Every structure is written in C-alpha cells, then in structure tokens.
Amino acid sequence: MQNDVSKVLDEFREGRAGTFEAAFETLFHQHQRAVYGWILRIVRNPAAAEDLTIETFWRIYKAHARFEPARGFEGWARRIATHAALDWLRALRPEDELPPDIPSVSTGNPAITAEIRRMTGLAFGRLPPKLRIAATLAVVEEQPYKDVAAALGISVGAVKLRVFRALRLLRKDLEREGMKP
C-alpha cells in the first residue's frame, strides 16, 4: 500500500507522458475532499471553495516538477490551496458578507446577542486578508498553530502575531461602531 502511494507520487513528480495524467487523477480523487474542506474553512463560501479547489489542483498540475515527495503531498497541496484562497480573499470587496449557509458547527452563546454577532462578523470581513486567514484558521477553526504556520509558509510566532493583530483590529473596529466588546 505504502509502495503504491510512493509510486503514484513519483509518477506525478516525474511527469512522464502515459503515467503522469493517471497519477494526477489518483491524487485528485484522494485529496480533493481535504483540499476543499481546507479552502472552505478559509473562504467560507461553498461555490468559491469548489472553484478554488480546481484552481489549486491546476496550480499543482503545473508545478509537479517542484514537488518533493519526502515532504508529503498533503502539506504541499494545503499550502498551495491557502495561497489560492488568499488571492481570492484579496480580490473580495470588504463589504461582502459571509454567506450564512455553510455547513457549520453551532456554538451559540445566549449571553452574546444576535446584533453583536452580526457586527463582529461584518468587522471580521473587513480585516486585511493576511490577518483574517490566520484568525479564521487558528481561532475560529481551532487548527494547531503549527499547521497554520506550515500552510501560510511562516513561523508559529508570526501566526500568533497575526492573530493578535487581527483581534486588536477587530476590537478597535467594534469600538468605532459604538460597541464595547
């Protein structure tokens, strides 16, 4: 089984006609769900996540020669997916609201009113994409800092700093709107 996996990865990296396409298709079917789930966590829009999954695999397809099998496919794909999602967030207008219909885990706290939630969600959408992505993955999605750092290609310390700056900006934004978080 392990040999099959490494054979597919080798065929993908070598890019020889005849075996490359089949290896790529195998990798696509093996990893598309994980890549889609990761992107959805960042962009929070199912339609955009589908398009970005295809964009991510297109970038993977073109960059096959740069793949290092020793470092694993999943982490590499996740990093490319994160950058594709970041590009999408950068192109998004700040006033675009997060779609409410993503499959999510309910964490309702009756002490926090719907209005506070709404305003926080809007303020969150106005954060710079680099800070927003770090806060989404580390705070909302509770992904390990190590994984977030690997996906963004930065250090764990830099992720912590971005999360701190995101929370501070969020607080300032809410205070400007007349809220005391």
Partner 1 sequence: MNAHDEDRMKELLRQAVSRVDDDAKAGRDLWPAMRKRMEARPAGLAQFHFSWFDWALAAGLVAFVGFLPSSIPVILYYL
* Distance from C-alpha of 62 to C-alpha of 51, rounded to nearest angstrom: 17
Q: How far is the CB of 109 from partner 1 (least distance, A)?
A: 5
Nearest to 132 by CA among 86, 83, 172, 173: 86
Would you count residue 37 as binding partner 1 (CB under 8 A)? yes
Residue 166: strand, helix, or coil? helix
Residue 159 and residue 149 in contact, taking contact as beta carbons nearer than 8 Å: yes
User: What is the contact mask toward partner 1 in residues 90 to 129, using x (rule: CB under 8 A)?
Assistant: --------x---xxxxxxxx--x---xxx-xx--x-----
158 interacts with partner 1 by CB under 8 A: no
* Cβ(34)–Cβ(76) below 8 Å: no
Check if the beta carbon of residue 90 is closer than 8 Å to that of residue 42. no
* Residue 170 is a binding residue for partner 1 (CB under 8 A): yes
Q: Judged by CB under 8 A, does residue 157 bind partner 1?
A: no
58 binds partner 1 per the rule CB under 8 A? yes
Question: Are 145 and 159 contacting, i.e. CB atoms less than 8 angstroms apart?
Answer: yes
Q: Shortest approach of partner 1 to residue 73 CB, angstroms?
A: 16
Binding site for partner 1 (CB under 8 A): 25, 28-29, 32-33, 36-37, 40-41, 44, 46, 49-50, 53-54, 57-58, 61-62, 98, 102-109, 112, 116-118, 120-121, 124, 135-136, 139-142, 164, 167-168, 170-171, 181
